[in-house]
């Protein structure tokens, strides 16, 4: 199957499997989404969803969070990993939102990426899921499947994002981001399939015999 045929097939198949994929991180507004996405770095979404209720009971707005101490925040987010750094970032960005953005999460990449603890991927998720701006956040699942499906060479997350944006229409980016994640978790996980077992891998590459060794981001 040639590249263009794979792209059409993958797009159609993911739409069939996940016609309306939910946002996996529980949140109530752009601010709580931003905090949840920040916490999800090197942590599972399931773990984040276990922790954020207590955090948002403590503070669910920049105003309330800015009044907390790093120690208070850290005591709650500790199970997420990298907790001291994340706690400091949460407090810092909350104060910046108060001082520079009228206590609102900005809806631009540049402004988001200026916030502590917010890199390009986190900004992309917030832009897509909070503001509906077309973006294609690339996490480890998407980076892995892009290689298994030969949509990108795995050279870098930046390259994977560029390749996926080139292959798929802009109006599909936000939904595809979620659909690929759900498919990766359910059918094509890191330590299984290896490009050989799931339906999309077998359909796109019926003659493939060797496992695909994924280059890490």
Q: Which residues are catalytic?
A: 121, 139
Question: Contact at 8 Å (CB) between 133 and 124?
Answer: no
First-to-last C-alpha distance (Å) of the chain = 26
Cα dihedral 41→137→118→67 (10° resolution) = -80
Helix or strand holding residue 182 (H, E): helix 173-186
Nearest-angstrom CA–CA distance, 161 and 137: 7
- Rounded distance, CA 48 to CA 157, Å? 23
């Amino acid at each position: 199957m040639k590249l263009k045929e794979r792209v059409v097939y993958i797009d159609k198949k993911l739409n069939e499997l996940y016609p309306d994929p939910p946002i996996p991180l529980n949140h109530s507004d752009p601010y709580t989404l931003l905090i949840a996405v920040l916490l999800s770095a090197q942590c599972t979404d399931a773990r984040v969803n276990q922790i954020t209720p207590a955090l948002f009971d403590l503070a669910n707005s920049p105003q309330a969070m800015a009044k907390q101490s790093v120690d208070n925040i850290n005591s709650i987010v500790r199970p997420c990993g990298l907790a001291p750094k994340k706690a400091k970032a949460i407090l810092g960005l909350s104060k910046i939102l108060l001082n520079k953005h009228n206590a609102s999460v900005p809806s631009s990449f540049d402004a988001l990426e200026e916030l502590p603890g917010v890199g390009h991927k986190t900004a992309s998720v917030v832009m897509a899921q909070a503001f509906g701006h077309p973006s294609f956040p690339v996490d480890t699942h998407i980076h892995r499947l892009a290689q298994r499906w030969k949509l990108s060479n795995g050279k870098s997350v930046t390259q994977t994002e560029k390749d996926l944006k080139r292959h798929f229409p802009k109006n599909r980016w936000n939904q595809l981001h979620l659909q690929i994640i759900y498919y990766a978790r359910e059918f094509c996980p890191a330590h299984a399939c290896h490009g050989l077992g799931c339906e999309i891998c077998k359909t796109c590459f019926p003659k493939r015999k060797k496992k695909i060794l994924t280059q890490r981001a």
